[in-house]
Structure 1
Amino acid sequence: MMTALLSPSTPSSPVTAAATAHSAFRLSLNPLLDRRGTVDGAWWPRTRDAAAELPALISAVDQRLGRAVLRVGLYLDAWDHIPRRIPAPGRQVRVGWFRSAEPHLITLSIAGTAPITLLVIPPGTANGPATAALTLAATGTVGVRPADILHPAGPDEGIPGRDGSASWENEGGRVTDLVPARPAAT
């Protein structure tokens, strides 16, 4: 099974994994979009500047799916310069930001279909690990956490949830300091 890796300049042309090291790919989508996995694909932005990066993502997804992205939801602390709206052909795409979401995910509400969830690969990630994450995210992620897909994708210092605490706390758990064990009585 070949996963489609998409370039913003030619969003519908698949490229092989070997060719990706020198190409400008940034997006992979599960061709089935069956909604069974944790994510429906992955996106590898060049920067954390949402105003600069989101227009190309919206355009690529619009072209790939033949449907319009209507809304984008992202984790507030993972991005800089988040606009309220992004201009797109014939519409304004609304941008919502949240602190209760998974930091490595972005959600795209699409006209006529269920929302698409993409794994965000941190900018600056090396080509090899990014390619691996792009491929895995688009080939089946049932039961796989976003952090597990990104594990080989390099450092994400400063992004909450890398240790799983964000998902634990979002599910009702609470991270506490460990209490030192008492010495054994002799």
Structure 2
Amino acid sequence: MTGPESVRLSLDPDLARRGAVDGAWWPAGYDAGAELPALIAAIDRRLERRVLRVGLHIDTWDNIPRRIAAPGRHVKVAWFRTIDPHLVTLIIPGIEHLNLLVIPPDTTPAAADKALDLATQCRGRTRPGDILTAADPGHPAT
């Protein structure tokens, strides 16, 4: 588990603009129970708001807990088969929802850095898999 200061995260500077992707997250692995606490803490700190709920694709993640402990609350975790497998959705008061591209943990640092950057520049119109493919054409997203 990592702390919120070490979370590899990028956010679109204009979160009022709605689109398919509002930023990107590069977790160290697919263990949701280990990775989500630091992401939630980082989003809480960066946006100065509290994440209330997280949505994940059930087949992408391992060890998906029903709740994650966070300061002063428990964040409910929901899992779906209909959500894009390359997204994590966070419900945050005043923002509606935040869709983050999930960069696969085994992505090379150069490709991950490019995906973190592209996710904040796509203005919400680009699909998650297309961002991953553009960041690393030799390793297309599935």
TM-score scaled to structure 1, two decimals? 0.69
Q: Partner of 1:150 in structure 2?
A: 132
Name the structure where strand makes up a greater proportion of residues.
2
RMSD: 1.8
**Structure 1 Cα separation of the partners of residues 72 and 42 of structure 2:** 15
Secondary structure of 2:114 counterpart? helix
Pick the structure with greater CA Rg. 1
Which residues in structure 2 correspond to 1:29-68 (within 5 Å)? 29-68=11-50
**Structure 2 Cα separation of the partners of residues 92 and 42 of structure 1:** 23
Q: Partner of 1:86 in structure 2?
A: 68
Is the counterpart of residue 28 in structure 1 residue 10 in structure 2?
yes
Paired letter, 2:27: P
Q: Partner of 1:8 in structure 2?
A: 4
Q: Partner of 2:105 in structure 1?
A: 123
Paired letter, 1:131: D
Deviations 1:48-80 (A, max 9, x none): 000000000000000000000000001000000
Q: 1:59 to 1:25 in 2, by over 3 A?
A: closer
**Structure 2 Cα separation of the partners of residues 155 and 8 of structure 1:** 28
Is the counterpart of residue 108 in structure 1 residue 85 in structure 2?
no
**Structure 2 Cα separation of the partners of residues 111 and 146 of structure 1:** 24
**Structure 2 Cα separation of the partners of residues 113 and 37 of structure 1:** 12
TM-score scaled to structure 2, two decimals? 0.90
8 Å CA contact 2:20–2:126 kept in 1: the answer is: yes
User: What percent of counterpart residues are identical?
Assistant: 57
Secondary structure of 1:60 counterpart? helix
8 Å CA contact 2:10–2:117 kept in 1: the answer is: yes
**Structure 2 Cα separation of the partners of residues 124 and 8 of structure 1:** 20
8 Å CA contact 1:37–1:140 kept in 2: the answer is: no
For CA contacts below 8 A with separation 6 or more, give which structure has more relative contact order.
Answer: 2
Q: 1:52 to 1:142 in 2, by over 3 A?
A: closer
Q: Partner of 1:173 in structure 2?
A: none
Paired letter, 1:81: N
**Structure 2 Cα separation of the partners of residues 32 and 41 of structure 1:** 10
